[in-house]
Amino acid sequence: MAIAELTENYIAAEQAADEQAGQVRVGVHDASRLEWSLSLPLPAKAPVPYSLHVEIQIPQNAFVRHVPWDQMQVFTRLDGPALAATDDAVTIDALRRGALAMASQLARASDGFARHCRLAGSLFVVASRSELEDALMIWIEAFVRISQDAREGLVHAGDDELAELTRERELVDEYISVRMCEALADAERALSNFAQSKSPNLERVEPVLAVVEARLSEVLASEFAYRTERGFGNADPSSPAALERYLDRSSRLKKHFQEVLFLERESFRVEERAYHWIAGFVALLVSAGAFVWQLAISKRAGSPRTVSSSLFIFALIAGLLYAARDRIQEIVSKWMMRRVHRVYGAQRITRYRAPARRLSGRDVIVNARESFWQSATTLPDPLNPEAGATVPVTILSYVHSGRVERNASLLATDVRRVKHVFRYDLSPMFARLDDTVKPVPVLDDTSRKVRFIDAPRYYRVPIKIGVRVDGREHEEIATLIMYKRGLERLERDKAAEALPTESEIEPS
C-alpha cells in the first residue's frame, strides 16, 4: 500500500471514531493541574447537543474550601485534519491553519508507528520480520513525506510577497521542523519501550528494530542539518541554557500557531448578573415590612397609654428588623438565587464565537451552560464496607451541557471538530497533605537487621467523567495519584461505575 494511502486511511478512521464517539480524555497536565478534554463533531445538518459531568472525590482531611471557578481554565478551539489548499495560503491565518493541519497529520502518523510497535509486542499477533520492517518503515517515510509536502505548499514564497507573509512562512518552516523532531522522538520512544518489554517476539525481531532505529537516526540527523542550515538552532545536551532556549522556542511556536484556532469566549455568572436586582428587591421588601408594621401600630393607637405602648412595641420591632436586616437579606437572597439557578439551569452561561478575522459575523459556534458544586458526604470504608465504617470526602461536581451549532463556512474550510480543554488547579490542597516521605521498617535479607527506608506518601483521588453526545454515552473512570509536591500520575480503572444524574447532585 502506498504511503499516502495508508496515512490517509488511518487518519480517516481515527477522525471517524472521534466524531462518532465524542471522545473524552483525562490526564495530568502539569504538577498542579488536572486536565480533561472533549472533542465534539461540527454538525453538517442539525445542531448537536452534548453534556459533560466530572466528579472529583477529595479526602476531607486534605480538602481546602475555595471557589471552584477561580481554579478552572477552559480553552475551546477548532480542529480539522486536512491541509489548507495551496491557493488559500495567502494570509497569515491560512498559513497557520495549514501548519496546524500538518502537525495533526504528523501526530496521527506517530500514533500509527506506536500502534505497530504495540501490536508487534502483543501475544496475539505474529508478524514476519519483513512485514514488521515494512510497516514501521512506511510510517517513517510518512513523516518525511508529510513534512516535505507541507514545506512545498506553505514555506516557499511567491514573487513580490508582503514582508509579514514571508516572516510567517519562516515560522511555519521552523514549526514543521520542531514537530518533525517531536514525531521522530516519539517513534524512538516507542521502539525503546518495545525493546525493553518482555514480549516473546522481541528476540526474533531485534534485527528489525536495529534497522528501523538506524533509519530514524538518519532522518533525525538530516533534520538537524536542515535546522542548522536555516539557522533555527538545535538542542545541545551539553548546554542547559541551549536546552532551555530550545524548549522555550518550541513552546512559543506552538502557542503562536494554535492561537488561530481558539474561539472567543463570552460568559457571565448568573448570580453576579442577578445579585444587585435581588439584593435591591429584598431590601425593598424589608423596608416595606417595617413601614406596614408602623402603619398597623399607629392605627391601633387610641389613648396616650396606647400610644406610648405602641411606640415602645414599634421601636422594639423596628430595632429587631434593623439588627437582623442583613441576615434576612442574606437568607432571602440565597433562596431567590437558588430559584434563579433553576430557571437558567446553570450557574454560568457561556457562548463561544468564531473570531472576526475567521468569520466576519462572529458566529456563535457553541452555546453552553455550566455549574460547579462542592458537597461534603461520607462513603463506605473500602477496607470493610459492610462494617458500617465511613470515610468523609468532599465531592467537586462540574456539569457542562451545551449545543454545537452548524456552520457551513467552517465546514467548507475542512473544520471537523470543536475541542473543549478543561484544566483544574488542585494546588490549594497540597499544603494540607502529609509529608512527602515516611520511614518504613524493613528486614535486611543479608544482616537480618531492621532498617528504615523512605517511602513516598501518596493520596488517591477518584475521578469520574461521563459524556453524552447526541444520545450516545461514554464514561471514563480513573484515580489521580498526588502527594505534597504535586500531581504524580493518573491510573485508569478497569471497572466502570454509573455516574449520578444531575438531579441526584445537590449543591452545597
For residues 32 and 483, what is the distance between their CA atoms, to the nearest angstrom? 10
What's residue 412's pLDDT?
Answer: 83
Is residue 368 within 8 A of residue 352, CB to CB? The reply is yes
> Would you give the DSSP letter of residue 432?
G
d(CA 94, CA 280): 51
**pLDDT digits 0-9 by tens, 39-50:** 898 898 889 999
Query: Of the candidates 139, 149, 88, which has an alpha carbon nearest to the alpha carbon of residue 113?
Result: 139
Q: Please state, as a whole number, how many other Cβ atoms lie within 10 Å of the Cβ of residue 408.
A: 8
pLDDT tens for each residue of 168-209: 999 999 999 999 999 999 999 988 888 887 777 777 778 888
What pLDDT, on the 0 to 100 scale, is given for residue 498? Answer: 38
**Angstrom distance (rounded) from CA 46 to CA 92:** 32
Which grid cell is 487?
Answer: 500531581
Amino acid 350: pLDDT: 92
Average pLDDT, integer, range 485-493: 86
414 pLDDT higher than 90: no
pLDDT at residue 145 in the model: 93
What b/e readout covers 250-262, taking b as 16+ CB neighbours within 10 angstroms? beebbeebeebbb
Rounded average pLDDT over 234-257: 88
DSSP 259-315: GGGBPEEEEEEHHHHHHHHHHHHHHHHHHHHHHHHHHHHHHH--SHHHHHHHHHHHH
What is the reported pTM? 0.73
Q: Which three cell numbers stand for residue 33?
A: 493541574
- Type of residue at 337: M
Average pLDDT rounded to a whole number, residues 387-414: 89
What local confidence, expressed as pLDDT, does residue 499 receive?
Answer: 37
**CA-wise closest residue to 53 among 460, 338, 478, 401:** 401
Q: How much is the pLDDT for 507?
A: 36
Percent of the chain predicted with pLDDT > 90: 29
For the cut 80, the answer to whether the pLDDT of residue 34 exceeds it is yes
> Is pLDDT of 86 > 50?
no
Q: What percent of the chain has pLDDT over 70?
A: 74
Q: What confidence category does residue 504 fall into, taking pLDDT thresholds of 50, 70 and 90?
A: very low
Average pLDDT over residues 434-463: 84
Question: CB within 8 A of 147, min separation 6: which ones?
Answer: 102, 106, 176, 177, 180
Is the confidence at residue 289, as pLDDT, over 70? no
* Alpha-carbon distances, residue 186 vs 80, 107, 180 (angstroms): 22, 9, 10
Q: Are strands 486-492 and 264-269 parallel, antiparallel or unpaired?
A: unpaired
Distance CA 246, CA 241 (A): 9
With cut-offs at 50, 70 and 90, classify the pLDDT of residue 448.
confident
Is 70 exceeded by the pLDDT of residue 19? no
